[in-house]
Structure 1
Amino acid sequence: MEVIVVERRQDAAALVADAYTALLTRTPTAVLGLATGSTPLPVYDELVRRHDAGDLSFARARAFLLDEYVGLPADHPERYRAVIERDFTGRVDLDPAAVVGPDGLAQDLDAAGRDYDEAIRAAGGIDLQILGIGSDGHLAFNMPMSSLASRTRLKTLTPRTREDNARFFDGDLDRVPTHCLTQGLGTIMESRHAVMLGFGRAKAQAIRECVEGAVSARWPASILQLHPHATVVVDVEAASQLGFTDYYRTTYAGKPAWQGI
């Protein structure tokens, strides 16, 4: 696991966008793993800027989403497929048919999870998976005590998660779905490069536990310690409880530029 500490969250955007640029330059048909939420937005904005400048194309790439609500109509604006289109994929030349999410409207949700994992495998696996981390250490919708070997499956949203997401449903908690389909931790671990972002003091404990603590279902993102190519990018506030910050800064500063992240 490589840990990179930046001064501000905005500084992470160019850094992570460089990884996308390098990947798509050498492999235009790369498979991207995309996350929704506010954390990756600066990265997506930077990728859109590079695309608009003519420096980056997604025309031959494919993408898979981390999760999807269960039961929201296909045309609902808060369906994650619609959210990622607004935030990123609809702003670049990525073919809409090449963007796939879990089927939250499937009659057999258990089978839908298995089918989604198979679709990822059939595409050749995810080359670069972008991730955010929750303040309780959750990854995608793998909440604390989720199986570290879990696959894409149905999960019940916690009351806190539904309360946090009510703002996207006009503050009406009753309109927030109670279930989702989410990639499991085992699914995420099969990506070739996992990039996890964490910003702000509210994420500091989770970053400490998941980066420097024991690998544990209590802190689901800690599983990334076992990933063969995991990069954690945090700002100074999120890094404020880490014990090896000087080491992370020194090793990153001495890293050859050709290695990237």
Structure 2
Amino acid sequence: MKLLVTEDYETLSQVTADLILLKWSENHRVNLALTAGSSPKRTYEILVERLRAVQFDQSLAHFYNFDEISLKDQADGLTMQALMQELFQPLGIEDKNIEVLDAENYQDYDYQIAEAGGLDLVLMGIGEDGHFCGNLPGFTSFDYGVYRVPIAPGDDLYQLLDQATPHTPGTEMVTFGPQTVLAAKELVLIANGKKKAAIIKQALEGPITEDVPASVLRLHPNLTVILDQEAASELTE
């Protein structure tokens, strides 16, 4: 594991954007799975600023949404809506380069990834409960590939999702499981802010356990963790 502690969120975002651009600039098809959420927002702004300013071949990058939450009466799920707004539309990414994950195709998605040459880079955040992608404590197993979790009004997952979107949650979440993520060539985990410090300590220094799903990422041979000083403040080393 490579651990990078940056001075602040802006520096974290700059470093993360650099890593994505470095991977993206390789002269072959590159398969990227990028997170939505609050942590990467500035990273995506930087990517848009840089790529709009230069001649850059975007056609070799293919994007895989590693989790998706269906929304009632919405064509796109929660993750795709965010990525479209923050990255795909501002950069003019063509539909043919966006590999949608949803409840219709999730059972074949691991095969599709393998047929495309595997994932080159997965960029993830971490929840305060230790989840990564859609792998929440109590819902995931380290043995899972891409899988589906049903959502029903009144259950804990529904309540959690209902707070995260102005739309009404649908009936399922689909997500890359730990096995799908660990099969990728490179993983990048980012976290910022004091509120992430306790779970970062558990994930990076505690036992590898399904109670803290992100702890399993330490088993990957090419994991980079990028933190600001606040998120890293409780680490022993």
Query: In the aligned structure 1, how far is the partner of 2:181 from the partner of 2:162?
Result: 23
Deviation at 1:147, TM superposition (A): 0.8
Secondary structure of the structure 1 residue equivalent to 2:82: helix
Q: Find out whether 1:27 has 2:35 as its counterpart.
A: no
Contact kept, 8 Å, 1:17 with 1:46, in 2: the verdict is: yes
Change (3 A) 1:199 1:178: farther
C-alpha distance 81-29 of structure 1, shift in aligned 2 (>3 A): same
Counterpart residue identity of residue 125, structure 1: G
**Which of the residues 122, 144, 151 maps onto 1:150?**
144
Task: Measure the CA separation in 2 of the matches of 1:169 and 1:37.
Answer: 14
The answer to whether the 8 A contact 2:72-2:169 is kept is: no
Partner Cα separation in structure 1 for residue 59 and residue 15 of structure 2 = 22
Match of 1:179 among 166, 172, 176: 172
| Cα deviation, residue 149, structure 1 | 2.0
Cα shift at 1:2:
0.9
CA RMSD, 1 decimal: 2.0
State the partner residue of 1:211.
204
- Structure 1 residues 133-142 or 86-95, which shifts more? 86-95
Deviations 1:176-228 (A, max 9, x none): 23520011011011111110111111111110011111111111101111101
- Shift of the 205–121 alpha-carbon distance from structure 1 to 2, 3 Å rule, reads same
Residue by residue over 1:44-75, the C-alpha shift from the partner in whole angstroms, topping out at 9 and shown as x without a partner, is: 11111111111644222111001112364563
| Matched letter for residue 86 of structure 1 | Q
CA offset at residue 93 of structure 1? 4.1
Specify the alignment match of 1:52 in structure 2: 52
Query: Alignment partner of 1:241: what SS?
Result: coil
Would the aligned equivalents of 2:70 and 2:169 in 1 still touch at CA under 8 Å? no
Which residue is equivalent to 2:195? 202
For residues 234 and 6 of structure 1, what CA distance do their matches in structure 2 show?
A: 6
C-alpha contact (below 8 Å) 1:169/1:176 kept by paired residues: no
Judge conservation of contact 2:188–2:226 (CA < 8 Å) in 1: yes
The question of whether the paired residues in 2 share the 8 Å contact of 1:13 and 1:43 is answered with yes
- Structure-to-structure mapping, 1:67-78, within 5 angstroms: 67-70=67-70, 72-73=72-73, 75-76=75-76
Any gaps of 5 or more consecutive residues in structure 1? Answer: 107-111, 245-261
Q: 1:168 aligns with which of 165, 183, 195?
A: 165
> 1: CA distance between counterparts of 2:205 and 2:100?
32
Identity of aligned residues (%): 27
Q: Is the 8 A contact 1:156 1:180 kept in 2?
A: yes
- The counterpart of 1:115, out of the listed 96, 108, 121, is 108
Q: Which runs of 5+ in 2 are unaligned?
A: none
What TM-score comes out, normalization by structure 2 length?
0.90
C-alpha distance in structure 1 between counterparts of 2:171 and 2:49, whole Å: 36
The 10-residue stretch of structure 1 (139-148 or 157-166) with the greater mean CA deviation from structure 2: 157-166
Letter in 1 for 2:94: D
Runs of 4 or more consecutive aligned structure 1 residues displaced over 6 Å after TM superposition = none
Could you tell me how far apart the structure 2 residues matched to 1:143 and 1:153 are?
A: 12
Task: From the two aligned structures, give the one with the greater helix fraction.
Answer: 1
2:89 is aligned to: 90
Asked if the contact 2:158–2:169 (Cα under 8 Å) also holds between the matched residues in 1, the reply is no
